Amino acid sequence: MKTHVLGFPRIGARRELKKALEDYWAGSLSPQDLISVSNSLKERHWKIQKDSGLSYVATGDFSLYDHVLDTSVMLGAVPERYGAKASGIGPDTYFQMARGDVGGNIAAMEMTKWFNTNYHYLVPEISPAQRFSLSSPAIVKDTRRAIELGYLPKPVLVGPITYLSLAKGEGSFNVWERIEDITDVYAEVIAELSTLCDWIQIDEPVLCGDLAPEAPWRFLETYVKLNQAVGKAGLLLTTYFDSLDEHLDLALSSGCAGLHIDLTCGRNDPYDRIVERLPEDMSLSVGLVDGRNIWKTDMTKALSVLRDIEKRIGPDRLLIASSCSPMHSPVDLNLETKLKPEIRSWMAFAVQKCEEVCLLGDALSGKNRDETLRANAEVLESRLSSPLAKNEAIRERCAGISEDMLHRKSPYRERKKAQSWLDLPIFPTTTIGSFPQTPEIRKNRLLFKRGELSRDGYKFFIEKEIHKVVKIQEELGLDVLVHGEPERNDMVEYFGERMGGFCFTDNGWVQSYGSRCVKPPVIYGDVFRRAPMTVREFSFAQSLTSKPMKGMLTGPVTVLCWSFVRDDLDRSEVCRQIAFALRDEVLDLERSGAKIIQIDEPALREGLPLKGRDAEAYLRWAVEAFRITSSGVDDETQIHTHMCYSEFNAIIQSIAEMDADVISIESSRSRMELLDVFRVFEYPNEIGPGVYDIHSPRVPTEAEIMKLIQRAAEYIPKERLWINPDCGLKTRGWEETLKSLKNMVAAAKAMRIGHQDF
């Protein structure tokens, strides 16, 4: 039998790709050196997979920014505004598509979440005039290079049905009209790859969700053509993030030589239903090592499944695999030397997941079976019985929730009157929370962490930064201020460090998009707040100004989704524990004088199950968690929340049920198209649609921002319309931040003067 993983993290164990990209963008690294770094990482990752004992190494899974963007480039699907011909898609065009063009004032492509993960992809743009051709042979070149180095490659492609399902048509154009043209390019790529390898992995995770009406019949005709092109190799149709369920027949009818299923998430429909109906000429790749979490695999349980499948289809048709690409996991647990040994023993990162897949193969073949099972069982038992994981007081508090904990004292209309003390102008301006995290901030945080800067010295530095940010905001003329969050390393990690039940890694980085990496906390036990977490910095900031200052928190669903979550307790229960911990913080902020408190929930949409049938249950407990957090305050206190880079139209009713006084949302990259939902849904409270894209370094003009505000005012009554950026400004530089905010405030003031004209 064969073993493989569906991909590997790109960033490098020490974020080598991040550093190279940012040096390249800054002009201090040449294009040749950037390619050299990327080639070195590819070869290192192939070696890791081979040395682990895997049968195949993944090629085509590496990307300088995003694998969906790479697919667009491969197809020649470059929007006209970038001016590139199919034969000339170089690094400048590539990064303009990802980040925009500052000098040319060209906007970046829209970005949103990859299914229900925290990874962001660049949304393909398809126009009626778009022509497709094989424009980048990168996957073929990488596959040839792997062969030269002595590896057995398994190229990885984003499947055409998933690609078009994620794409966006120009205007009302139906992207499915271009499926045949796109399929021709895929067939050309597959034909060339098929001469080089045994398997070609073609990812169609969209089959695990709700398909567009055109997708099923387009799927069948597309795969007829692809299988004709595949030659001696086999297409491995790869699905993940959920179970196939109603699309099983479609997958089994694909004509592909193999099918991959994810048995680690979703409802896990009985695998025997798949095995019973598996065509005799189709192999089955079984994903039992979780590519999205950091806990060790239960070998006994996994082997039981594998033995049963092997007995029924034979070892020659069985592949053992990770559930999905481990790109959603940190790279190497061996770099973590400071974790408690007991907790560390429960974990496996991407390198270790490769080893786990091979261990399953060995154990199934009878190699080291008893030793492997015994060692694994001992670790799992130590985790289940560990006192580190359970706190009875926390569980009793969560079980004692009452109805009044889930509701504000009065409805929004009455709260609005009680909040009149704010005396804000029409189109009030604010930011989402963070301001640029400069090298000086990061340096001082590191010195403090290492013990080379005293607590008093660090406090003095942070207060100096807060003072600077408050002064800048007052000079800009913003109406509602923030303290800038200079003390926060990450919007989830910061809170996790101050709550029980969390632990932290030194090198557990995961790519979010491009060079942006996050280091998710690990929730291993019951969650509680140790002490106030944000009150001191808020109180200091508010003392510097007479303008209202927002208290800033990360919401319970986002803390949950952006952490590696324990898998021995239902996610809804973990989320409720986080909500009660944050409720205590909200009430302490209010007592300290915070009358505007923002509870960010950018991950609310991300946590939504892929299948619509499962959405209601998730949204019920997610909204409940937010309301536990927010509902204890007085009517005079204004609750804000923020959501970004998610298609939220399908869940607008649930967002309304959160009952925040103000929501701010990403909408600039889509040019306010995300607000279409408000034509049919009358959102009852106040809204701040983002008026400029903070994920691009370009500075929007005042006129550009005014145009977006005018569009937003077509959807939202001007009395309930706030003006703010798309997201926090942590990753931006000060020069572009000041220019952008200056234009934003000027646009808002101009709109106030002429607000009766539209």
Rg from Cα positions in the chain = 26
Tokens of 43: 């070869």
What number is the average pLDDT over the span 552-568?
96
Q: Is the pLDDT of residue 270 over 80?
A: no
Give the list of residues 6+ apart from residue 480 with CB closer than 8 angstroms, or none: 424, 428, 429, 430, 547, 548, 549, 550, 596
pTM of the predicted protein model: 0.91
From the number of C-beta atoms within 10 Å of its C-beta (0-12, 13-18, 19+), residue 532 rates as: middle
Tokens of 203: 């990812």
Band the pLDDT of 651: cuts 50, 70, 90. Answer: confident
Instruction: Answer yes or no: are the C-beta atoms of 51 and 352 closer than 8 Å.
Output: no
Tokens of 408: 């504000």
Apex CA 184: angle with CA 183 and CA 189, to 5°?
95
Q: Is the pLDDT of residue 711 over 50?
A: yes
Tell whether 600 is in a known binding site. yes
Q: What are phi and psi of 643, to 5 degrees?
A: -135, 140
Mean pLDDT over each residue of the chain, to the nearest integer:
93
Distances (CA, A) of 238 to 29, 158, 198, 203, 610: 37, 9, 15, 5, 16
Tell whether 197 is in a known binding site. no
Give helix 179-193 / helix 138-148 axis angle, nearest 10°: 10
Higher pLDDT, 41 or 717: 41
Tell whether 550 is in a known binding site. no
Instruction: Answer yes or no: are the C-beta atoms of 121 and 112 closer than 8 Å.
Output: yes
Q: Is the pLDDT of residue 127 over 70?
A: yes
What number is the average pLDDT over the span 224-247?
94
* Direct distance between the N- and C-terminal alpha carbons of the chain, in angstroms, rounded to an integer: 68
pLDDT of residue 474: 97
Band the pLDDT of 671: cuts 50, 70, 90. Answer: low
Q: What is the pLDDT of residues 636-645, one digit of tens each?
A: 999 999 987 5
Tell whether 634 is in a known binding site. no
Tokens of 119: 């990874």
pLDDT of residue 570: 94
pLDDT of residue 647: 63
Q: Is the pLDDT of residue 754 over 90?
A: no
Give the list of residues 6+ apart from residue 468 with CB closer than 8 angstroms, or none: none
Band the pLDDT of 673: cuts 50, 70, 90. Answer: low
What number is the average pLDDT over the span 588-601?
97
Band the pLDDT of 531: cuts 50, 70, 90. Answer: very high
Q: How many CA atoms lie within 13 A of 554 on its CB side?
A: 27
Tell whether 85 is in a known binding site. no
What number is the average pLDDT over the span 356-371?
87
Give helix 535-542 / helix 455-476 axis angle, nearest 10°: 50
Band the pLDDT of 148: cuts 50, 70, 90. Answer: very high
The runs of H, that is alpha helices, within 551-651 are: 556-561, 571-591, 615-630
Give helix 455-476 / helix 734-753 axis angle, nearest 10°: 40
Q: What span, in angstroms and rounded, lies between the C-alpha atoms of 502 and 496?
A: 6
Q: What is the pLDDT of residues 160-215, one digit of tens each?
A: 999 999 999 998 899 999 999 999 999 999 999 999 999 999 999 999 999 999 99
For 469-506, b/e burial (b = at least 16 CB within 10 A) is bbebbeebebbbbbbbbbbbbbbbbbbbbbbbbbbbbe
pLDDT of residue 677: 75
What number is the average pLDDT over the span 265-274?
75
Q: What percent of the chain lies above the pLDDT cut of 90?
A: 80
Band the pLDDT of 676: cuts 50, 70, 90. Answer: confident
Q: Which range, of 34-48, 358-372, 519-533, averages the lowest pLDDT?
A: 358-372
What number is the average pLDDT over the span 368-390?
88
Tell whether 113 is in a known binding site. yes
What number is the average pLDDT over the span 37-46?
98
What number is the average pLDDT over the span 64-88?
88
Q: Which range, of 169-183, 390-404, 693-707, averages the lowest pLDDT?
A: 693-707
Instruction: Answer yes or no: are the C-beta atoms of 605 and 641 closer than 8 Å.
Output: no
Q: Which amino acid is at 227?
A: N
Instruction: Answer yes or no: are the C-beta atoms of 156 and 62 closer than 8 Å.
Output: no
Known active-site residue 695: yes
Q: What span, in angstroms and rounded, lies between the C-alpha atoms of 157 and 720?
A: 45
Q: Which amino acid is at 83?
A: G
pLDDT of residue 757: 46
Apex CA 481: angle with CA 477 and CA 487, to 5°?
130
What number is the average pLDDT over the span 641-651?
75
pLDDT of residue 267: 61
Tell whether 120 is in a known binding site. no
Q: Is the pLDDT of residue 269 over 60?
A: no
pLDDT of residue 629: 98
Q: What span, in angstroms and rounded, lies between the C-alpha atoms of 722 and 741?
A: 14
Higher pLDDT, 707 or 582: 582
Q: What span, in angstroms and rounded, lies between the C-alpha atoms of 501 and 505?
A: 14
Catalytic residue among 260, 407, 695, 755: 695
Band the pLDDT of 669: cuts 50, 70, 90. Answer: low
Tell whether 749 is in a known binding site. no
What number is the average pLDDT over the span 537-554?
97
Q: What is the pLDDT of residues 562-583, one digit of tens each?
A: 999 999 999 999 999 999 999 9
Distances (CA, A) of 687 to 274, 643, 691, 744: 46, 11, 12, 16
Tell whether 666 is in a known binding site. yes
pLDDT of residue 211: 94
pLDDT of residue 212: 92
pLDDT of residue 394: 95
Domains of the chain, first to last: 2-329+339-385 (3.20.20.210), 413-757 (3.20.20.210)
Q: What span, in angstroms and rounded, lies between the C-alpha atoms of 442 and 455?
A: 15
Instruction: Answer yes or no: are the C-beta atoms of 311 and 375 closer than 8 Å.
Output: no
Tell whether 488 is in a known binding site. no
Q: Is the pLDDT of residue 86 over 90?
A: no
Band the pLDDT of 674: cuts 50, 70, 90. Answer: low
Tell whether 652 is in a known binding site. no
Across 486-606, where does the E strand assignment appear?
499-503, 510-513, 516-518, 522-529, 550-554, 564-565, 596-600
pLDDT of residue 682: 80
Tell whether 434 is in a known binding site. yes
Q: Length of the chain in residues, anyone? A: 758
pLDDT of residue 266: 65
From the number of C-beta atoms within 10 Å of its C-beta (0-12, 13-18, 19+), residue 338 rates as: exposed
C-beta atoms surrounding 377 within 10 Å: 13
pLDDT of residue 758: 41
Q: How many CA atoms lie within 13 A of 154 on its CB side?
A: 27
3-state SS, residue 516: strand
Tokens of 460: 């003095």
What number is the average pLDDT over the span 605-623?
91
Instruction: Answer yes or no: are the C-beta atoms of 168 and 206 closer than 8 Å.
Output: no
Tokens of 397: 């508090």
Q: Which range, of 80-94, 106-120, 353-367, 649-663, averages the lowest pLDDT?
A: 80-94
Instruction: Answer yes or no: are the C-beta atoms of 274 and 249 closer than 8 Å.
Output: no
Tell whether 18 is in a known binding site. yes
Q: What span, in angstroms and rounded, lies between the C-alpha atoms of 277 and 402?
A: 48
Tell whether 590 is in a known binding site. no
Tell whether 752 is in a known binding site. no
Q: What is the pLDDT of residues 306-359, one digit of tens each?
A: 999 999 999 999 999 999 999 999 999 999 999 999 999 999 999 999 999 999
Q: What span, in angstroms and rounded, lies between the C-alpha atoms of 190 and 205?
A: 19
Q: What span, in angstroms and rounded, lies between the C-alpha atoms of 749 and 754?
A: 9
Run of H or E including 164? helix 160-166
